[in-house]
Copies of this chain bind each other. A is one copy, B any other.
C-alpha cells in the first residue's frame, strides 16, 4: 500500500539547492516521487516552480518526509487552514505541535495567509484572533509594531512561555516556510557573504568587506549587535572594540560575566600595580585581580554605579554606559561572582538576549561559542551574521544554521578588531 501527497516548490529552487535537498530527503527517507509539473526559470532572474507527488509506504513515513520537505521550503500543494489546539497547561504544548524553523513562515487562518512574527527556531506558533489580544500582549519578542486590534495574528513562543489556553498550531497543514536564497556576488556589501568559512581568502580583504557591511547597515539605519567573548580582552582588542561602541558602529553588546569582569579588571588594575599592560596581559594569571574586580563592582552596586562614581573610567562596559548602548550580561555556571548586572537565571537571560537579537540587523559573533549559540538561537535566518573565531570548529558550528547572509572567518580576534576599527573609522 502506498500513500501520496503533492508538494510545491517555488523560487530559485535549483540555484538555492532547494530542489536537490528535497530530492535527497525523499530518497534518504525511503520515499519516492514523481515530478508532476516543472517550470524552470529561463534566466537567472526568473523564478521556477515544481510540483512533486511524494509517496511512501504508510502515513507515518509520509508525514515524516513531508515534515522534512516542509522544513526545507516545500509546501503542501493543497493548503488547508492551520490546525489549532489550546495548550492544556502552562508550559505544556498540545501533542503534535508545530515546531518552527528560523525561516520566514506564514500560517493559513480563515483562508488567509498571515506572517508569523518574531520567527525563531524550535518555538511553538501561537495564534490570537483580534478580540483576545488586548489582554495578552505577552509576545515572546517585544519590538513588534502596533497592529489593528481586529486582525488575527500569529507569533512564536518558546516552550517555557506557553500559557494554558494559548491557541497553538499543530501538524503540518496550513504552514508555509520560505528559506532565504543566497545573495549573488554583485549585490551590495553583503554580496561577499555567500556562506562558508573564508579560510582561503585574503584576511585583510575579508575584514574590509565586513567593515563595509557594517557601514552599510548603519547607513540604512540598522542596528549592530556584538556578541563578545573574554578573548577579546586577553588578545588586546579591548580599546578598538570600545572605540567602535563609542563611535556608534556597535549598538548593543551581548556577553557573559567573564567578558565584563576582564574588561573592567583592565581598567581597575591595568596600571595601578605599576605593571606594563602593553607587554604582559596578566601578571601570573592574576586570579586575585579577577576576584577583586568583581568585589569592587559588587561594592559599588553594579557597573553603571561604578562608572558614575568614577571607579570605572574606560573600556567596553564604560562606553556602553557612557553612550547608552544597551548590554546583556548572561550568567553561566562557570562565572565567578557574578557581577550584580549579570542575569543569573538562564530563562530570564534568554529573554533579554531574544529582545536584543530581534532588534539586530547585523550580528558580530566574536570569539564566544556559548553566547553566540544563544543569540543565534533567537535569530531569524534573514539577519546578517558575521562569525569570527580562531577555532575553525566554532565558526563552522555557528554558520551551520541556514542563514542567508552569513560569513565566517577563522582569524585572530586580537588582530581582527584593530584592523576592522581602522578600516571603518580611518577611511
Q: Which A residues lie at the B interface, using CB under 8 A?
A: 14-17, 19-20, 23-30, 32-35, 38, 40-44, 60-61, 64, 67-68, 71, 91-93, 97, 99, 101, 121-122, 158-160, 184-186, 192, 199-205, 207, 209, 234-237, 273-274, 278-284, 287-288, 290-292, 294-295, 298-299, 330-338, 344-347, 349-350, 353, 370-371, 373-374, 377, 390-393, 410-412, 414-416, 418-419
Contacts and interface: CB of A to CB of B under 8 A. Distances in A.
A68 B234 CA distance: 20
A91 to B, nearest CB: 5
B333 A283 contact: no
Contact of A93 (B273, B295, B412): B295
A64 B292 CA distance: 14
A404 B367 CA distance: 31
Interface centre among A15, A40, A199, A412 (most CB of B within 10 A): A412
A20 B67 CA distance: 23
A54 to B, nearest CB: 11
A68 B347 CA distance: 39
Contacts of A283: 29, 64, 68
Given A200-B281, A279-B209, A334 B370 contact: yes
Contacts of A411: 390, 411-412, 414-415
Contacts of A24: 15
Interface centre among A14, A42, A287, A373 (most CB of B within 10 A): A14
Contacts of A40: 35, 38
Contact of A414 (B92, B203, B390): B203
A180 to B, nearest CB: 16
Contacts of A28: 184-185, 284
Contacts of A416: 412, 415
A371 B279 contact: no
Contacts of A92: 295, 298-299
Contacts of A204: 236, 414-415, 418
A139 to B, nearest CB: 19
Nearest to A202: B236
A203 B287 CA distance: 21
Given A14-B23, A346-B346, 11 more contacts: A27-B184, A28-B284, A30-B185, A35-B41, A68-B283, A92-B298, A202-B234, A202-B281, A203-B414, A345-B345, A392-B393
A30 B335 CA distance: 32
Given A25-B284, A28-B284, A330 B330 contact: no
5 contacts: A15-B24, A203-B415, A390-B390, A411-B411, A415-B416
A92 B299 CA distance: 6
A100 to B, nearest CB: 9
A19 B13 CA distance: 11
A202 to B, nearest CB: 3
A93 B294 CA distance: 10
Nearest to A44: B27
Given A344-B345, A410-B412, A292 B99 contact: yes
Given A26-B44, A91-B298, A333-B349, A288 B99 contact: yes
Nearest to A299: B92
A280 B201 contact: yes
A29 B273 CA distance: 11
Contacts of A391: 393
A15 B25 contact: no
Given A17-B17, A184-B28, A202-B414, A335 B344 contact: no
A207 B414 CA distance: 11
Contact of A290 (B122, B199, B290, B350): B122
Contact of A14 (B14, B234, B377): B14
A236 B30 CA distance: 23
